[in-house]
Amino acid sequence: MAKARFEAIAESRTRKRIVIEEKGRRSDLFLQSVFNEERMLQYLTKDALESVQSAIFSGSKIDRKIADQVAEAMKGWAISMGATHYTHWFQPLTGSTAEKHDAFFDLLPDGRALEKFGGGQLVQQEPDASSFPSGGIRNTFEARGYTAWDPTSPAFIYETTLCIPTIFVSYTGEALDNKAPLLRALSAVDEAATAVAKYFDKNVSKVNATLGWEQEYFLIDKALADSRIDLRFTGRTLVGQAAAKGQQLDDHYFGTIPDRVLSFMSELEKECTKLGIPVKTRHNEVAPNQFELAPVFEEANLAVDHNLLLMDVMDKIAEKHQFKVLFHEKPFAGINGSGKHNNWSLATDTGVNLLSPGSTPMKNLQFLTFFINTIKAVDTYEELMRSSIASASNDHRLGANEAPPAIFSIFVGTQLSGVLDELEGVSMGKLSPEEKTELKLNVVGKIPEILMDNTDRNRTSPFAFTGNKFEIRGVGSKANCAKPMTVLNTIVAKQLIAFKKEVDALVDQKNLKKDEAVFNVLREYIKTSKRIRFDGDGYSEAWFKEAKKRKLSNNKTTPEALQILTSKESLALFKSMNVMSEVEVKARQEVELEAYILHLQIEGRILNELVYNQIIPAAMAYQNVLISNVCGLKEIYGASYKKLAVSQLQIIEEIAEHSTALKEKTDAMIASRKKANALKGTFKKATEYTEKVKPQFETIRVHSDKLERLLDDEFWPLTKYSELLFIK
């Protein structure tokens, strides 16, 4: 019965460490596999290079002749690097990445063979990708989608394939992916932020959103992970008793990294470095077998691509080291889950971080402008921010006593709270020269260049200011960062446009100086966005009550959270910022709800299989052993056997009790699932799954975990937490 489990354990014990050379300078490897500007310089004519650079800087179109040149150059370089195939690499709404490989190899009409790759193939492809979810955008007669080159993210070679980052759009132009809306949001925030940054420095001509993600993950021996169908098919354990020792001693956190893991990490980092992913930090996380990897931050579109690429590369390299990476937000009950903090800021092409306080009052006024506008934007659209990180797997964290709560609030720290409070108290309208000096010296001037608060770590806050950037803490470890990045940059763009309009109006109509106008508007924003600021304990009951009073949303589940996407305000927002049309937003909501339902459906089915095919049979088998023992005792001792069989009888009864309950609860869950499946409309169905089906998973688990405790170890069929979780 437990054979598979024992074989997996035996196999996991035979692992030898793959020795990876740690020596050598990482900087020598950096960008080796990337067709970056330096390489373009080598391979392209001046005209072609300028055309690509202008496409990167301002989004201008690249004409076909230039595209042919670029393609020729890319091909030459790729083949010299040993590549045989190329692919348009894109991000369908499934959340991961997709690729369809074509060989450079081609035949001429006369039968001669050659390596071919032209501008046409570089710029646009038509993968037969009609099975990707489109939320109804594509019906069958226009089922085709096109991928189109995104020159802002450089092509790279992975293994023997030249990968070209692309967007994925429908025949009629609607975005079918996560990248296209992100690029539009980044362009919106560029335009809006550049206009505002010009108040402070006329030389600014572009603003880039920056993103530094921190990827958490679990690493499990491959044989052990494969031995459980729940891990294989759902990415998490649906049942399983906590190990006697979990994370309570905090001995894993920042501890010595086990050898076997270290060699995996070394190889991973080398590979990433070649691919241009600037990985920098690695350490153990809180839970056993949990780790984190973080790069240096980059322009947001590139950072999103790099995170997706990283997840792919991790899977492959883990396989080589006989590991399985778990990106699921909550693979194990009773120990921490995983997230992916998104550190975000805005940077000018003049090299200034707009969320970094400076050494002069003017620089600090610029900082306050972007800082307060971000706060105001998140206050206005807090519910939309929450929706951007919603998923079935992330529901295990948000609103479930772990990670930040489902309520969005902003932590700014005591120092900056003080500054905002003082600014709020300043009188309105025109300022006398004395008032202005006072304001600049004593309020704005008080912001130190380096904020002490950046060491202030309130881990319960979902959106925290950490010295020179904001950090979104609720993003799921499995998620595509494009989603929260699209929303955040869109709402900040919208907010900055409104801000500029108000400031300009005060200057034109009320005759205020620009800095006075800025102060006036910011002061209003501080007042009207107060409810979103919260520095206290985000997990406390008191905060839930307070947040309700402040009318902040608290959407604990994905179906609830996704509703806001299609509100009148949200649709107007996305449309006015040219980020998504109504059709595109509705399609996304539909796709997300469907994905949610499918995830729960699969979990329900796997649970059913586990209970009927593995757990109950194991319980019966062990019960039979006890029964024969009792029968044997009766045969030998006659009527006095009972005294000798007390514990056996108790266990027999307990097994019966939990097996019966397990079967009953599982049958009830299946019935609820069938009922949910019969409902029409994705929202209705998703809600039914949330309210009626999902809660039963937990009761089923309780009885299974009781049986795990009761059964002889030899009989228990599922690899246990204590066996899965401690890599040597």
Q: Tokens 């009972």 appear where? A: 642
Q: Give yes or no for residue 689 binding ligand ADP (CB under 6 A).
A: no
Give, as ranges, the residues between 77 and 136 that touch ligand ADP (CB under 6 A). Answer: none
Distance CA 634, CA 637 (A): 5
Q: Tell me, what DSSP letter sits at residue 347?
A: E
Are 291 and 280 in contact, with CB atoms under 8 Å apart?
no
Residue 36 binds which entry of Mg ion, ligand ADP, none, with Cβ cut-offs from 5 to 8 Å by kind? none
Gap between the terminal Cα atoms of the chain: 26
Residue 211 binds which entry of ligand ADP, Mg ion, none, with Cβ cut-offs from 5 to 8 Å by kind? ligand ADP
| Of 54, 205, 266, 468, the one binding ligand ADP by CB under 6 A | 468
SS3 14: coil
| Of 145, 154, 212, 404, the one binding ligand ADP by CB under 6 A | 212
Residue 345 binds which entry of ligand ADP, Mg ion, none, with Cβ cut-offs from 5 to 8 Å by kind? ligand ADP
- Print the binding letters for residues 344-363 with ligand ADP: x by CB under 6 A, - otherwise: xx-------x----------
Are 327 and 217 in contact, with CB atoms under 8 Å apart?
yes
| Of 138, 469, 533, 701, the one binding ligand ADP by CB under 6 A | 469
Residue 151 binds which entry of ligand ADP, Mg ion, none, with Cβ cut-offs from 5 to 8 Å by kind? none
Shortest distance in whole angstroms from residue 356 CB to ligand ADP = 7
* C-beta of 294 vs 626, nearer to Mg ion: 294
Residue 468 binds which entry of Mg ion, ligand ADP, none, with Cβ cut-offs from 5 to 8 Å by kind? ligand ADP
Cβ-based neighbour number of residue 287 at 10 Å = 21
Phi-psi sector, 289: left (phi>0), alpha (psi -120 to 50), beta: left
Residue 145 binds which entry of Mg ion, ligand ADP, none, with Cβ cut-offs from 5 to 8 Å by kind? none
Shortest distance in whole angstroms from residue 253 CB to ligand ADP = 12
Please name the residue ranges forming H helices in 638-693: 641-644, 646-678, 682-688
Are 392 and 385 in contact, with CB atoms under 8 Å apart?
no
Taking the CA of residue 125 as centre, how many other CA atoms within 13 Å lie in the half-sphere pointing to its CB?
A: 25
* C-beta of 94 vs 468, nearer to ligand ADP: 468
- H helix or E strand, kind and range, residue 242: none
Stretch touching ligand ADP by CB under 6 A, among 118-126, 291-299, 541-549, 617-625: 291-299
Nearest to 297, CA basis, from 547, 555, 481, 163: 481
Stretch touching ligand ADP by CB under 6 A, among 343-351, 385-393, 412-420, 556-564: 343-351
Shortest distance in whole angstroms from residue 404 CB to Mg ion = 11
CA distances for 380 relative to 520, 525, 549, angstroms: 19, 11, 16
Distance CA 433, CA 441 (A): 12
Distance CA 707, CA 658 (A): 7
Angle between helices 482-509 and 568-576 (to 10 degrees): 80
Which two structure tokens, joined as six digits, stand for 591? Answer: 């796709």
Q: Give yes or no for residue 343 binding ligand ADP (CB under 6 A).
A: yes
* C-beta of 211 vs 711, nearer to Mg ion: 211
Distance CA 488, CA 473 (A): 13
- Print the binding letters for residues 510-549 with ligand ADP: x by CB under 6 A, - otherwise: ----------------------------------------
Distance CA 610, CA 6 (A): 17
Amino acid type, 675: K
Distance CA 328, CA 317 (A): 18
Residue 86 binds which entry of ligand ADP, Mg ion, none, with Cβ cut-offs from 5 to 8 Å by kind? none
* C-beta of 458 vs 490, nearer to ligand ADP: 458
Shortest distance in whole angstroms from residue 11 CB to Mg ion = 36
Shortest distance in whole angstroms from residue 284 CB to Mg ion = 15
Q: Give yes or no for residue 366 binding ligand ADP (CB under 6 A).
A: no
Q: Give yes or no for residue 297 binding ligand ADP (CB under 6 A).
A: yes
| Of 18, 103, 107, 296, the one binding ligand ADP by CB under 6 A | 296
Angle between helices 482-509 and 361-380 (to 10 degrees): 120
What is the radius of gyration, based on Cα positions, of the chain? 29
Q: What share of the chain is helix, strand, coil (3-state, %, to 5)?
A: 55, 15, 35
- Print the binding letters for residues 201-240 with Mg ion: x by CB under 5 A, - otherwise: -------------x--------------------------
Stretch touching ligand ADP by CB under 6 A, among 38-46, 294-302, 389-397, 578-586: 294-302
Residue with smallest beta-carbon separation from ligand ADP: 212
Please name the residue ranges forming H helices in 439-533: 482-509, 514-528
Q: How many residues bind ligand ADP (CB under 6 A)?
A: 15
Distance CA 419, CA 452 (A): 13
Shortest distance in whole angstroms from residue 341 CB to Mg ion = 4
Distance CA 57, CA 63 (A): 16
Amino acid type, 158: Y
* C-beta of 214 vs 298, nearer to Mg ion: 214
* C-beta of 341 vs 673, nearer to Mg ion: 341
Residue 607 binds which entry of ligand ADP, Mg ion, none, with Cβ cut-offs from 5 to 8 Å by kind? none
Distance CA 718, CA 227 (A): 7
Are 340 and 479 in contact, with CB atoms under 8 Å apart?
yes
Residue 492 binds which entry of Mg ion, ligand ADP, none, with Cβ cut-offs from 5 to 8 Å by kind? none
* C-beta of 130 vs 281, nearer to Mg ion: 281
Residue 210 binds which entry of ligand ADP, Mg ion, none, with Cβ cut-offs from 5 to 8 Å by kind? ligand ADP
Which two structure tokens, joined as six digits, stand for 498? Answer: 């409104």
Give, as ranges, the residues between 192 and 211 that touch ligand ADP (CB under 6 A). Answer: 210-211
Are 236 and 332 in contact, with CB atoms under 8 Å apart?
yes
Q: Give yes or no for residue 341 binding Mg ion (CB under 5 A).
A: yes
DSSP assignment string, 93-106: TTSS-EEEEEESEE
Q: How many residues bind Mg ion (CB under 5 A)?
A: 2
* C-beta of 209 vs 710, nearer to ligand ADP: 209
Shortest distance in whole angstroms from residue 296 CB to ligand ADP = 5
* C-beta of 214 vs 379, nearer to Mg ion: 214
Shortest distance in whole angstroms from residue 345 CB to ligand ADP = 4
Amino acid type, 409: S
User: Which spans of this chain sit near Mg ion (rule: CB under 5 A)?
Assistant: 214, 341
User: Which spans of this chain sit near ligand ADP (rule: CB under 6 A)?
Assistant: 210-212, 214, 281, 294, 296-297, 341, 343-345, 353, 468-469
